[in-house]
């Protein structure tokens, strides 16, 4: 199962919305023996979210956030971006027009599909519904 950035952030930050739910969903995946997958994009987004102002208090330092990224990349399966992902991204955007921030979501879907992954755990199901015939949304 591919995990969206918002799940990782909420699981890490106790003041984040849905903190307990995110932690339980990740723990449940681990208990069930499910492989948790992310991408380099998710790692970059994680750092971006934790280093910009949020409506809730972020109580970790940049150094801690960078350590988190290292741990996440060591413990989870990181699906790499490359030419196949770019080609799928272009095809997706031609078929389902996207722009601005939606490109990030399209790239997550392209990364998933390039690696044969079809399940996405996210709090932002609405952002991915346009790809519903290609992926299964697992809402937290």
pLDDT at 60: 84
Q: What is the pTM of this model?
A: 0.92
Print the SS3 string covering 15-57: CCCCHHHHHHHHHHHHHCCCCCEEEHHHHHHHHHHHCCCCCCC
Domain residues of the chain, as ranges?
1-140
CA separation for the pair 26, 8 (Å, rounded):
9
Long-range Cβ contacts of 96-105 (<8 Å, 24+ apart) = 96/130, 96/131, 98/130, 102/127, 104/41, 104/45, 105/131
pLDDT along the chain (140 residues), means of 10: 96 91 93 94 95 76 94 97 97 94 97 97 95 89
What's the pLDDT at 18? 93
| Per-residue pLDDT, 140 | 65
What pLDDT was estimated at residue 132? 84
Interatomic CA distance for residues 74 and 110, integer angstroms: 22
Contact between 27 and 16 under an 8 Å Cβ cutoff? The reply is: no
pLDDT reported for residue 96: 94
Matching CATH number, 1-140, of 1.50.10.100, 3.30.70.1380, 3.40.50.1010, 3.90.226.10: 3.40.50.1010
Residue 82 has what pLDDT?
Answer: 95
């Amino acid at each position: 199962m591919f995990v969206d950035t918002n799940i990782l952030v909420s699981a890490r930050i106790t003041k984040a919305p849905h903190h307990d739910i995110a932690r339980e969903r990740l723990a449940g995946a681990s208990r069930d023996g499910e492989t948790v997958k992310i991408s380099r994009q998710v790692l970059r987004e994680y750092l971006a979210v934790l280093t910009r102002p949020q409506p809730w208090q972020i109580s970790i330092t940049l150094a801690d956030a960078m350590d988190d990224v290292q741990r996440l990349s060591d413990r989870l399966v990181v699906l790499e971006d490359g030419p196949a992902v770019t080609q799928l991204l272009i095809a997706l955007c031609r078929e389902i027009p996207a722009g601005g921030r939606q490109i990030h979501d399209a790239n997550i879907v392209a990364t998933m599909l390039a690696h044969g992954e079809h399940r996405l755990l996210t709090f932002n199901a609405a952002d991915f519904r346009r790809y519903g015939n290609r992926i299964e949304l697992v809402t937290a």
